[in-house]
Amino acid sequence: MAPAHKTLLAGSITFVAGLALWLSGLDEKIVIITPSKVGVVLMILGGLETLYGVYMSVRTDRAARG
């Protein structure tokens, strides 16, 4: 699997995990962290990683074309 595809996949999984935490952890509190806030952070990081994967795949396609 190409590095761009791995980055896209990892970013998407991170985003979905953050979304699940954000949706399911709205009413819960743990001593140190709130799951909904961790979910928002994971969604942001996953979105950024996905965008980077898109950038890498576009750059790779352009380089392959010449």
In this prediction, the residues of the chain whose per-residue pLDDT falls under 50 are: none
Residue 18 to residue 35: CA distance in whole angstroms: 9
- Please report the pLDDT score of residue 66 as a whole number: 63
| Residues 6+ positions from 6 with CB-CB distance below 8 Å | 53
Threshold 0.85, pTM exceeds? no
